[in-house]
């Protein structure tokens, strides 16, 4: 063992040993703090945090060690300083990018852990989910672009080429800028959606005449899950530039309507009592709104509107279907003459027939 290290300066081994010891101390202190916070409900740390950040931190330590003169002396490669420093810089950029993305995902998981989108009153939770999903993509995109730029600029040859290109590409830059105007506008619309939030994840919307829920929001497009399981892909500028219906912008409760077209003989009071009875015997009604009104009258029928409320739009749909069926059944069984039918007056014909009989 002595013959192996006899040509290596003792200071190099000491420096490497100290670096390794410092790294172990930092690692175990970080692990201890995370575990302590993980047991405290006030600072609950999600599981798998160390798995996300341990390896990037290790790579950061390796990049520092590779840059040390002691490490080159240990390998007997003191003259390869340029390549060791270049490898250290590239490894440092890669590890730092990985670490930032890992920390971002941990912070997102830590914050959204306190919000459950599966509850009935999930408006705030959907706001948080929407903001963090979009902002996470923006930050990751920026971090990766900066990392690629830092890697390229670390090479002197590429840096000189880049400077010359930027210095002589004014016209080309203007052309590219005009060409990318639509893309930039789309990305900015995605950022605006994240901040202003005209839509959120799981919002109920009507877009292009289609009823559906917001399933996914990215920087460039939004996925709307239509009620029949189709997917409508909409560019993000659509929700900034065009009007659309958002049924859950501030709350999920909604009013449902049922229209009936009946004869003039329909008993309105009996129909109101039946509506109340049906609503009180179903869990679909939230016990807020119960109204039956005559909203129009035509030559052959009367238009009746039943208005009721529900906790959300899918429940309102089921409630409307239920009420419509029950009211029609009620009229069929109890007031069949109230169903719309055409009248033909036979008074003149009957009078003529009576006169003929008298003459005979």
Closest CA to 261 of 334, 343, 344, 327: 327
Cβ-proximal residues to 69 (8 Å cutoff; 6+ apart), any chain: 12, 78, 81
Residue 246 has φ and ψ, to the nearest 5°, of -120, 110
Angstrom distance (rounded) from CA 310 to CA 297: 28
Q: What are phi and psi of 267, to 5 degrees?
A: -85, 105
Kindly report, residue by residue over 249-283, the tens digit of the pLDDT: 877 778 889 999 999 889 999 999 999 999 999 99
Q: What is the predicted pLDDT for the residue at 169? A: 47
159, 153 contact by CB (below 8 A): yes
Rounded to an integer, the average pLDDT of 2-28 is 62
Q: What's the maximum distance between 2 C-alpha atoms anywhere in the chain?
A: 147
Q: What is the pLDDT of residue 329?
A: 93
110, 302, 311, 124: which is closest to 202 by C-alpha? 124
Q: Which of 342, 259, 345, 332 is nearest to 299 (CA)?
A: 342
Q: How distant is the alpha carbon of residue 10 from its chain centre? A: 58
Pick 221 or 182 by higher pLDDT.
Answer: 221
Residue with tokens 């997102």: 108
pLDDT at 141: 83
Bridge partners for 223 per DSSP:
216, 233
Residue reference for tokens 């959120």: 200
Cβ-contact 308, 289 below 8 angstroms: yes
Q: For the whole prediction, is pTM greater than 0.85?
A: no
Do residues 294 and 304 make contact, with C-beta atoms less than 8 angstroms apart?
yes
**Are the beta carbons of 123 and 201 closer than 8 angstroms?**
no
Candidate from 76-80, 132-136, 239-243, 346-350 with smallest mean pLDDT: 346-350
Query: How much is the pLDDT for 82?
Result: 74
CA distance 108 to 102: 10
Summarize pLDDT for 69-103 with one digit per residue, the tens. Answer: 666 666 666 677 777 788 888 888 898 898 888 88
Choice among 55-64, 163-172, 274-283, 291-300 with the minimum mean pLDDT: 163-172
Whether residue 234 is predicted with pLDDT greater than 70 in this model: the reply is yes
Q: Which long-range contacts (CB under 8 A, 24 or more apart) does 234-240 make?
A: 234/207, 234/208, 235/186, 235/189, 236/186, 236/189, 236/190, 236/193, 237/185, 237/186, 237/189, 238/207, 239/189, 239/193, 239/198, 239/199, 240/189, 240/192, 240/193, 240/198
Q: What's the pLDDT band for 306 if we cut at 50, 70, 90? A: very high
- Lowest mean pLDDT across 4-8, 21-25, 51-55, 330-334: 4-8
Where is pLDDT greater, at 169 or 186?
186
Helix (H, G, I), strand (E, B) or coil at 48: coil
């Amino acid at each position: 063992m002595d013959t192996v290290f006899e040509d290596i300066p003792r200071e190099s081994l000491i420096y490497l040993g100290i670096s390794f010891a410092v790294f172990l101390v930092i690692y175990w202190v970080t692990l201890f703090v995370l575990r302590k916070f993980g047991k405290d409900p006030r600072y609950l740390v999600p599981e798998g945090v160390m798995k996300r950040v341990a390896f990037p931190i290790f790579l950061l330590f390796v990049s520092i060690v590779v840059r040390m003169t002691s490490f080159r002396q240990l390998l007997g490669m003191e003259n390869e300083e340029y390549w060791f420093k270049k490898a250290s810089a590239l490894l440092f950029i890669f590890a730092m990018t990985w670490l930032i993305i890992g920390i971002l995902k941990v912070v997102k998981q830590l914050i959204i852990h306190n919000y459950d989108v599966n509850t009935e009153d999930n408006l705030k939770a959907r706001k948080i989910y929407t903001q963090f999903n979009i902002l996470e993509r923006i930050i990751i995109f920026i971090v990766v672009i900066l990392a690629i730029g830092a890697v390229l600029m670390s090479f002197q040859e590429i840096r000189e080429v880049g400077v010359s290109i930027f210095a002589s590409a004014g016209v080309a830059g203007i052309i590219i800028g005009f060409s990318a105007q639509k893309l930039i506008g789309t990305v900015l619309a995605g950022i605006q959606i994240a901040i202003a939030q005209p839509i959120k994840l799981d919002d109920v919307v009507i877009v292009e005449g289609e009823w559906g829920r917001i399933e996914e929001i990215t920087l460039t497009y939004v996925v709307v899950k239509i009620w029949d399981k189709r997917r409508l892909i909409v560019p993000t500028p659509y929700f900034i530039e065009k009007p659309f219906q958002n049924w859950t912008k501030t709350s999920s409760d909604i009013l449902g309507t049922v229209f009936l077209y009946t004869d003039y003989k329909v008993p309105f009071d009996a129909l109101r009592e039946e509506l109340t009875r049906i609503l009180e015997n179903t869990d679909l009604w939230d016990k807020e709104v119960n109204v039956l009104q005559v909203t129009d009258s035509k030559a052959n029928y009367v238009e009746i509107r039943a208005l009721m409320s529900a906790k959300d739009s899918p429940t309102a749909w089921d409630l409307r279907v239920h009420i419509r069926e029950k009211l029609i059944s009620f009229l069929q069984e109890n007031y069949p003459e109230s169903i719309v039918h055409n009248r033909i007056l036979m008074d003149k014909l009957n009078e003529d027939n009576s006169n003929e009989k008298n003459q005979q």
